[in-house]
Amino acid sequence: MLSFLHRSLLLGSMVAACCAAPLFAQQPEALYHEPYRPQVHFSPEKNWTNDPNGLVFFDGEYHLFFQYNPSGDTWGHMSWGHAVSSDLVHWKQLPLALPEHDGEMIFTGSIVIDEHNTSGFCQNGQPCMVAVYTSHRGTGEHDQRETQSLAYSLDRGRTWSFYDGNPVLDREMTDFRDPSVTWNDEAKQWLMAVSLPNEHKVVFYQSADLKHWTEVSTFGPSGAIGGQWECPDLIHLPATAQHDSLWVLKVGINPGALQGGSGEQYFLGSFDGRTFTQQPGPHSTGWSDYGKDSYCAISYNHLPANAAPVLLGWMDNWQYADKLPTSPWRGQMTLPRELSLQHDSTGDTLAQQPILTGLRSGRGRHRKLQLSGTRMQLSAGNLSTPTEMLATFTGATDGLYGLRFYSDNDHWVEVGFDEQKYHLYVDRTHSSIEIHKDFPARTEAPLEPARSRDLHLVLDRSSLEVFAQNGTLAMTNLLFPASPYTRVQLFRSSGHATLRAETSTWTLNSLWK
């Protein structure tokens, strides 16, 4: 993935990032335990990462490939890094998978399991892994070319060979990228969704062998078209007791997203094997994340039968990605999120729930709090990040209220409900050390008045992920506090009705232990 904001990086003059040491880092820290190192989110051991790539489940392992610079902690020399997990929570980084080579950078793409050897790459009657990725060549607008290419692995992704016949799809275009490939069992064909970023379109192709592709349809423009469309992903949501199955087409938008910088839009509709059709009505489109820092999320291929779809994204924003005060790495992933369809009186909505299997430490702390017509704050407990919290609010019909997470008396991040505007919001304007002029932000999401006022929060050392209204709202924001977060308080800035809150809090174990 490459936005037009970053094409200048291809001219060979990469701008060095501002790399001030964290304010509360007094001594060198052990690897994976640096002050801002995420403890429940994947980050590479060192160097730069952006988009997740090739998410696939195979032979008992969840694979996470990712855009990676093996030469430094800023964007460049794009290759595919690789990590594996048995539970989507605990990750082990493996050696570099697909390296930059012969003037070709390895941009975003996907991996499929070729169970029937349609490609001819597999051996001894065993399925093999095939990567379909964007091959990026050239350094400037006049000689840049993006095509789609293949690589394959016969040993569960540990080593790879590039296909001699690359590229397999070429529209002779500067911007043509991010293939998402799946197997259509009914048609006995491979399906590719790939982006035409500047035209705000997703093009669908079919193939019998992964090598020869035929265009079958296009979708777009639709919805938000303020920036380039990237990282398309077509996801099937299983039927529920209330509704038939639906399809979700998700696209990354950069820049010009809802909150500025990078963002992600989705469309609900149907898919007949060739064409995606957006369903009518105001709820046919939405944002998969309303925060500043979730981008190019893609779903897992080849999951076990009856498993819910799982989405995972890059937790960052192109406005300031190369300015983050972390070392020796720069960049991290969101939590994996299980997807479902929620249907109620307000319509159909994409819902997400974070996956944190086995990370809770102890039985948790449970508290009941109440505020009656007052602006005072009540303690909801001390913190030890990483922390998971569930909170349910009842009784309030007006004003602003929610939770504040303090690192000291002068620095906090606020998660609240605004019952005048019907907004959920996260305000990090008082939370972090100075990063970039676009970093301070108050992000908002529209509330459905008929739905509950609930929060599911995951606070890590440098991030906060918020899920609300039964997971139908997600909001992801990076945080870089001057000192670690130590306490959480219930607040109310206005309103008269009695506010009641029930909270449950767990300290989370580090995934690196």
Supply the residues annotated as catalytic.
Answer: 51
Which residues, listed in sequence order, are joined to residue 442 by a DSSP beta bridge?
427
Is 194 in contact with 178 (CB distance < 8 Å)? yes
Q: Which residue in 300, 310, 318 sits closest to 252, CA to CA?
A: 318
Q: Is 13 exposed, middle or buried (0-12, 13-18, 19+ CB in 10 A)?
A: exposed
SS3 category, 5 = helix
Q: Which residue in 203, 333, 169, 231 sits closest to 3, CA to CA?
A: 231
Which residues, listed in sequence order, are joined to residue 48 by a DSSP beta bridge?
69, 330
Please tell me the distance from the alpha carbon of residue 167 to that of residue 173, in angstroms, as a whole number: 13
One-letter amino acid for residue 262 of the chain: S
Is 218 in contact with 200 (CB distance < 8 Å)? no
The structure tokens listed for 167 are 């590229």
User: What are the Cα distances from residue 451, in Å, to 301, 394, 494?
Assistant: 32, 11, 21
SS3 category, 238 = coil
* Residue 303 per-residue DSSP state: P
Residue that has been written with the tokens 């960052």 in this structure: 316
Please tell me the distance from the alpha carbon of residue 369 to that of residue 79, in angstroms, as a whole number: 50
One-letter amino acid for residue 359 of the chain: L
* Residue 212 per-residue DSSP state: S
Please tell me the distance from the alpha carbon of residue 222 to that of residue 507, in angstroms, as a whole number: 42
Is 386 in contact with 507 (CB distance < 8 Å)? yes
Q: How many CB atoms sit inside 10 A of residue 124's CB?
A: 7
Find out whether the peptide bond into 22 is cis, omega within 30 degrees of 0.
no
- The residues, any chain, with a CB within 8 Å of residue 86's CB and separated by 6 or more, are 60, 61, 62
Please tell me the distance from the alpha carbon of residue 84 to that of residue 252, in angstroms, as a whole number: 25
Supply the DSSP string of 98-121, one letter for each residue.
Answer: E--BTTBEEEEEEEEEETT-SSS-
- 3-state SS, 290-310, equals CCCCCEEEEECECCCCCCCCE
